[in-house]
Chain A
Amino acid sequence: MRQSADFIAQRRRDKKNTILLTGGTGFLGSHLAVELLRRGHFVILLCRSKDGLSAEQRMRQLFDWFDLRPGGNYRVVEGQITQPRFGLDEQTYAYLKDHTDEIFHCVAETAFSQTKQSQLEAVNVEGARHALQLAVESGCYYFHHMSTAYVAGQRHGRCEEEYVPQEHFHNAYEQTKHVAEGLVLETCRANGIRANIYRPSIVYGDSRTGKSLLFNAFYAPMKLAHYLQTIWERDFAENEGRHATSMGVTRSEDGVLQVSIRIERAEMGVVNLIPIDFLTQATLAIMEDTLDGGIFHIVNDRQDTLDELLVYMRRIINIDGIRLVGPGHLTAEPRNALEKLVAGYLDVYQPYFYDDRTFETTKAQRILARHRITCPRMDDALFSRCIRYAIEVDWGRQLFQYQQGE
């Protein structure tokens, strides 16, 4: 190993460790970056420019969103994770090599579609390779890799907190994240670098504020339902519901939209949801307590049933008639147009509606218990908080405008 455990512990305690964090403008990466900064670490943020904003401007925008007034303990480096040496010039890359003690590799492409395979490969696999290249070329002694619990692929039942080679996955996202894990473990082992792999389940917004930066996965069904509600309500207001009724959508006397949409899922289908604040606290607790590397599931010990989530949704979205049905139900009676739309929209999430994977948490739990970190339970209030925020920021489109206008 490049450095002793005592050395690493001392450096962390003294906040003398410089951490390079990739994906600083991403959902998970930004939350971790902000927490690391708040705890006094020096963080080099590797991120890219986008939409006419430089990497630095994007980070400042995010700091505002977090209401963070950072001190001098960070530096933004504009680079491309998909390119060797992040596409940096010699001087900048040399700076990274000279200063990087630990790497927090958070950047990820989270699209599930097969059509995004090349992008997933480029970001999740090649990106990891480029981050590892820096680890090898620099004095880095600890590599932290943000993965996903779903590298377990098409397994059933209990999934261990260890690397298990897999061949079958539900989508290219799972597959590329699994490949990246293998790369991390192999490269770090060969080069005397300690490695932590963090495997969160499905992450949603902040349980305390409802705020989020990303509105996929957990949010997707709600986003679609809210869109349909908006469209149909406008149709009733402006066209007496002409279009809505031709698709079988009616409105009850109390103004509730009535639809007939069946969504197929496993009997008592469940999902494992964790809020971002829990993920952040858990990840940093594990980071601080772990000196020899390991793989950690950061998941909710209480899975939420899809039926419960549907009840919560109904209280916010003014639509009745969405039903969860068991396997085979839809073959008996063919799908109507809206059901086809919903099925198409949620197609890539289908495997998760039948998910029976559970995740071992022994290693993570040992640390989280010591820190008294527990995962908040989803309930009506928490659900509402998150979805209301999503609606306020128009599912991410008004994210920063909203922040400025707050």
Chain B
Amino acid sequence: MTLQEIKGIAGKCVHYAMCRIDFLGTGVCASGTQSGYVSYYPQGRMEIAAALADEVIPVTEKLIDIVESCTLCGKCDKQCYFVRELRPIKVMRALKEHIASHLEQGLAVVQPQTDDVLERLQAVTGAEWSSNDPAILVAYSVDRFPLAERCMPRYVTMPASTVEVQEIIKIARAADLPYTARGNGASSFAVALGDGIIIDLTRMKQLEVDPKTWTATIGPGVTAFDLQREANRHGMRAGVVEPAACVCANLISTNMHSLFSHAYGMGADHCSDAQFVDPEGELYTMNDPRQSNPFYFNKEGAGPNGICTQARIRLYPMTEDESAILVPFPTLQEAAAMAREVGFRRLGFAAGILGADYVSAFMAPTNETAEQLKQLFREKMGIEYALLVLGDKYDLAAVKDMAEVTIDEKLIRTMMLSMPQLHGEQGLAMLADLPSGGTLYKTLFDAEMMPLIEAALSPSPDNIMPAVDEDMREFYRDLYRRPEMTDLVWLNMYRILSSRTGRGRPFFGMVMYMPFDEPDLIVELCEQLGAVADKHGLRNDFGYLIPIDFGKRAALEYDFYHDHTNPEEREHARAAADEAAETIDRYMKKMNGRSAAVVPFQGLCRKENLLYPEPAQ
């Protein structure tokens, strides 16, 4: 295949960076691990392929090295298929063919010229860790946020220590160049782009767990996945979010709210201290007495006051009897009432309401089966929302007691191992599809019905095979034989399924902190945001609602989906994002200071700044 032919695949990469963590146990791209730069990972090669096809970059020696370093081992194919149903191996092959043809034809191979800044950067990091080669730069030049345009940096540098970060900042200042720090992937809001120096912090992988203080000291290159795995080895858990995201970057930019925020909090709750290099290149920590108020929240969203180069993250205990339970609901109001109770009563260590869209995306192996499952839940069963609670046996017993009907982990596992026939003629669809148009899920999910459901579905990893591409079938069967793939506690801790959201088309989520005692207002805002997206022809859906601070507030996410490869849709997404921001602003005023939208780079502020803002004057 030619580059033009595979451009469609390459352009669909959403930079979730899942190819940079070993979330499926396949191992990670060897050349990426060895070379570090994004360009040596499948994510980067996808970008290179698209850029070559569009003639954005020339063929350089570095580019040839990047392409040749791919062994076509196929790990990325499995990882990317799991997340996005993309087949990057086709892109890798096409790249190799393109370069072979380029060389055969004797076409030019460009050698970028060095300059003073590059030489100074290389003097700090070592020659191999700073570059101005277009093949390196291009992998850092784009984001999927609809408001972001391609922004080609001049240099990419990969420091190995805080001292090197300090030196780099001083070089940038001397050369009057802007700099942007980043971790593994791009960001949902384009904050990892910059036209000066990109400081890629992923070499700084310090990771030390201190079991005595229940903390982990981490460098900025440590991903949530890595941290969680290490914490688990010590019988503890971290309250992290997107698995491939570097925790420090995530921490300072987004507040890191997740279902775990119900118990573990958010923002400054996550860490006991953090170290920064300030814009002068000097070091400071959050606990530095010279800092006036490190927990300050700037609602205008000023940039971070420095680069986080180390953080001491809080860890939490785990017990042997942890499990999960889903409580299905037909309306958001009913689900919110129960979630609020769960918050009040401090039940479980993670809780939140998920929309049918999320639940289906998480549970189903492919986009098609996710759509079918969503249809089963919504149209046949009348289930629009599910409250997910993770907890020990005492927590879950209490939730069962409170709920009219629950779906326990055994039933969830049964359903996950029963796709695609779950919604087929011998599956639950038959029972859910009442001839009268009513719903039967309350009866169906009664524990007494479990033998019937198991008999109907015959859950097995083998069942999943027909749902996936033929060459993936054995891999999926083996993958789903692993208990963690149907263990909701594990899956939520590592969050590997959340990357499946937006599998059909990527999304951008709008997050707001809402008063939990007015569920009608939450529903109203969701409807308003839905109307904005509908007006622009964008698919949209409720994301989640998480009780925070004992159920006083709730973190709400509402998602807009768009095909970033379609310029027209991207334009609609831009307009919709603007209108949605206005809508959210209107509601914040309406709630008189009882809500606040998420503002980038204010992640480390105390949650009280967001949940207890000053009333509007």
Same complex for A and B? Answer: yes
Contact A231 B426 (CB under 8 A): yes
Q: Mark B426-449, 1 if CB is under 8 A from A, else 0.
A: 100011001111111011101011
Most buried by B among A115, A223, A242, A343: A115
Partner of A115 from B437, B443, B446, B454 at Cβ < 8 Å:
B437
Partner of A347 from B438, B446, B451, B454 at Cβ < 8 Å:
B438
Contact A113 B455 (CB under 8 A): no
Q: Smallest distance from the beta carbon of B239 to chain A beta carbons, Å?
A: 38
Contact A115 B448 (CB under 8 A): no
- Is B123 on the interface with A (CB-CB < 8 A)? no
CA distance A237 to B595 in the complex (A): 59
Q: Smallest distance from the beta carbon of A220 to chain B beta carbons, Å?
A: 4
Contact B435 A234 (CB under 8 A): no
Contacts of B110 in A (CB 8 A): none
Contacts of B438 in A (CB 8 A): 111-115, 347-348
Q: Interface of A with B (CB < 8 Å)? A: 111-116, 215-217, 219-220, 223-224, 227-228, 230-232, 234-235, 238-239, 242-244, 246-247, 337-338, 340-341, 343-345, 347-349, 394, 397
Contact A337 B455 (CB under 8 A): no
Contacts of A244 in B (CB 8 A): 451, 455
Contacts of A114 in B (CB 8 A): 438
Contact B435 A344 (CB under 8 A): no
Contact B435 A220 (CB under 8 A): yes
Contact A341 B435 (CB under 8 A): no
Contact B446 A337 (CB under 8 A): yes
Contact B436 A215 (CB under 8 A): no
Task: Name the residue on B nearest A247 (C-beta).
Answer: B451
CA distance A391 to B407 in the complex (A): 31
Contact A217 B452 (CB under 8 A): no
Task: Name the residue on B nearest A217 (C-beta).
Answer: B435
- Is B471 on the interface with A (CB-CB < 8 A)? no
Contacts of A228 in B (CB 8 A): 452
- Given A231-B455, A243-B451, A344-B443, decide whether A112 and B431 contact each other with a Cβ distance below 8 A: no
12 contacts between A and B (CB under 8 A): A112-B438, A113-B434, A113-B436, A115-B330, A224-B431, A242-B451, A338-B452, A341-B440, A344-B444, A348-B438, A349-B436, A397-B425
Contacts of A394 in B (CB 8 A): 425
Q: Smallest distance from the beta carbon of B132 to chain A beta carbons, Å?
A: 52
Contacts of A232 in B (CB 8 A): 455
Contact A337 B452 (CB under 8 A): yes
Partner of A337 from B437, B440, B449, B454 at Cβ < 8 Å:
B449
Contacts of B454 in A (CB 8 A): 243
Partner of A340 from B382, B443, B456, B458 at Cβ < 8 Å:
B443
CA distance A56 to B426 in the complex (A): 32
Contact A337 B439 (CB under 8 A): no
CA distance A111 to B379 in the complex (A): 13
Contact A337 B448 (CB under 8 A): yes
- Given A231-B426, A234-B455, A337-B448, decide whether A113 and B437 contact each other with a Cβ distance below 8 A: yes
Contact B451 A246 (CB under 8 A): yes
Q: Smallest distance from the beta carbon of A258 to chain B beta carbons, Å?
A: 16
Q: Interface of B with A (CB < 8 Å)? A: 330, 382, 425-426, 430-431, 434-440, 442-444, 446, 448-449, 451-452, 454-456, 458
CA distance A111 to B433 in the complex (A): 11
Contacts of A112 in B (CB 8 A): 436-438
Q: Smallest distance from the beta carbon of B183 to chain A beta carbons, Å?
A: 44
Contacts of B455 in A (CB 8 A): 231-232, 234-235, 239, 243-244
Contact B451 A227 (CB under 8 A): no
Task: Name the residue on A nearest B330 (C-beta).
Answer: A115
Task: Name the residue on B nearest A112 (C-beta).
Answer: B436
Contacts of B452 in A (CB 8 A): 228, 231, 243, 247, 337-338, 341
Q: Smallest distance from the beta carbon of A135 to chain B beta carbons, Å?
A: 29
Contacts of A116 in B (CB 8 A): 437
CA distance A345 to B382 in the complex (A): 14
CA distance A244 to B436 in the complex (A): 27
Partner of B436 from A111, A234, A235, A242 at Cβ < 8 Å:
A111
Most buried by A among B435, B443, B452, B456: B435
CA distance A340 to B447 in the complex (A): 12
Contact B443 A216 (CB under 8 A): no
CA distance A368 to B442 in the complex (A): 46
Task: Name the residue on A nearest B452 (C-beta).
Answer: A247
CA distance A394 to B435 in the complex (A): 14
Contacts A227-B431, A244-B451, A341-B431 aside, 10 further interface pairs with beta carbons under 8 A come to A115-B437, A116-B437, A223-B435, A227-B430, A232-B455, A243-B452, A247-B448, A337-B446, A340-B443, A348-B434
Most buried by B among A223, A232, A238, A345: A345
Contact A115 B434 (CB under 8 A): no
Q: Smallest distance from the beta carbon of A400 to chain B beta carbons, Å?
A: 15
Contact A216 B435 (CB under 8 A): yes
Task: Name the residue on B nearest A114 (C-beta).
Answer: B438
Task: Name the residue on A nearest B454 (C-beta).
Answer: A243
Contacts of A397 in B (CB 8 A): 425
Contacts of B449 in A (CB 8 A): 337, 341
Task: Name the residue on A nearest B451 (C-beta).
Answer: A243
Contacts of B458 in A (CB 8 A): 234, 238
Contacts of A239 in B (CB 8 A): 455
Q: Smallest distance from the beta carbon of B427 to chain A beta carbons, Å?
A: 10
CA distance A228 to B456 in the complex (A): 9
CA distance A281 to B456 in the complex (A): 42
The 5 closest A-B pairs by CB, nearest first: A111-B437, A216-B435, A113-B438, A243-B455, A337-B448
- Given A115-B382, A231-B455, A243-B451, decide whether A340 and B446 contact each other with a Cβ distance below 8 A: yes
CA distance A234 to B458 in the complex (A): 10
CA distance A115 to B330 in the complex (A): 10
Contacts of A223 in B (CB 8 A): 430, 435
CA distance A239 to B455 in the complex (A): 9
